[in-house]
Amino acid sequence: MQIELVETFLDLVETRSFNRTAERLGVTQSTVSARVVALETAVGARLFVRSRAGTELSTEGLRFEPHARLLRADWNEAKRAVEPAGNSAVTLRLGIQNDLAAGHIGKLVAGVKRNLPQVALYIEPDYSAQMCADLTRGALDFAILYSPKPHPDLHFASVGDIAYRLIGDTARNRVQIDPMTYIRGAFSPAFEATHRQLLPELLGAPLAAGQSSIITSLLSTIGGTGFVLADTAQQMVETGQFGYVEDVPPVTQPIYAAMNLRNRTARIYRRVFRIANRHFATVSNPSDRI
């Protein structure tokens, strides 16, 4: 059986639309239809029922869905098993939230290499939504992210949190913040929800960015006020060019580990989770740092 047939089936399970699946997979609608027919012929059952209301799984399709997910996972694991990994026994594809990469990937990789010397690593900084999609299709094995996207194939667990601080070049309290020079952080839905409650008057700021490093660069170049990672904020305040907005509290962002559901009990994944959990627990509680 061609894996493209399974991928097309699983995409249709999500979209319930032949046209939408064709767009997402970059093929024609007739190709999607042909793949579904080929898959139904292979399994000997009708998997979808099409009507004016849309495309729905048949009873047989509902039964086939969990097996299709296992087939995709097994196929991706089989491909990785034969990929060159030098002298390493296995390659682990690790995704990490963009904002966490620069400050934390070094210690995380050091922990993995120390505890799992037989593992080769591939590192991919990205945003949460893309990492969840990559985990689902097997392009990533493990991810550290801000925003879990619930999916039947994925397992999420909290590993700690990290703080963002509001700093400015001239503003030292809330009333001094100029909305026209405020740079709004759009780091995650959770951060934005907290920001909406904390500073509703700044929701219409004309400039926004999704990474702390971008806001740091903008503040250093054009000035203004904005949230950046707490460690970065401290460094910028120490230069004397910026100060904390004292009456606005830090915003705490939860951090999660994510992996395929079937891998959560595997030895390698449990050890990587413990490494991430220990690291971010220390970050969440600075007084515990050694």
Angle at 165 between CA 159 and CA 170, to 5 degrees: 170
> How far, in Å, CA of 109 to CA of 276, rounded?
10
The answer to whether position 270 is within a domain reads: no
Structure tokens at 39: 């898959």
At 276, the amino acid letter reads: A
Residue whose entry in the numeric block shows the structure tokens 């004309």: 206
Beta strands in the chain (DSSP E): 48-51, 54-57, 90-97, 119-126, 142-145, 154-168, 182-185, 207-209, 225-229, 243-244, 251-260
The candidate with the shortest Cα–Cα distance to 283, out of 170, 163, 144, is: 163
Kindly report the CATH number assigned to the domain that includes residue 52.
1.10.10.10
The count of structural domains within the chain is 2
Kindly report the CATH number assigned to the domain that includes residue 231.
3.40.190.10
68, 98, 113 — which closes off a domain? 68
The answer to whether position 230 is within a domain reads: yes
Structural domain of residue 49, as residue ranges?
Answer: 3-68
The answer to whether position 217 is within a domain reads: yes
The answer to whether position 147 is within a domain reads: no
In the predicted model, is pLDDT for residue 290 greater than 50?
Answer: no
The answer to whether position 258 is within a domain reads: no
Report the phi/psi class of residue 110: left, alpha or beta, with left for phi > 0 and alpha for psi in -120 to 50. Answer: alpha
The pLDDT of residue 82: 62
pTM of the model: 0.74
The answer to whether position 237 is within a domain reads: yes
Instruction: Output 70 or 277, whichever has higher pLDDT.
Output: 277
The pLDDT of residue 281: 87
pLDDT tier at 286, thresholds 50, 70, 90: very low
pLDDT digits (tens, 9 = 90+) for 222-241: 999 999 999 999 999 999 99
The answer to whether position 273 is within a domain reads: no
Q: Which residues of 176-210 are buried (b: 16+ CB within 10 A; e: fewer)?
A: ebeeebbbbbebbeebeebbeeebeebeebeeebe
The answer to whether position 183 is within a domain reads: yes
The pLDDT of residue 81: 63
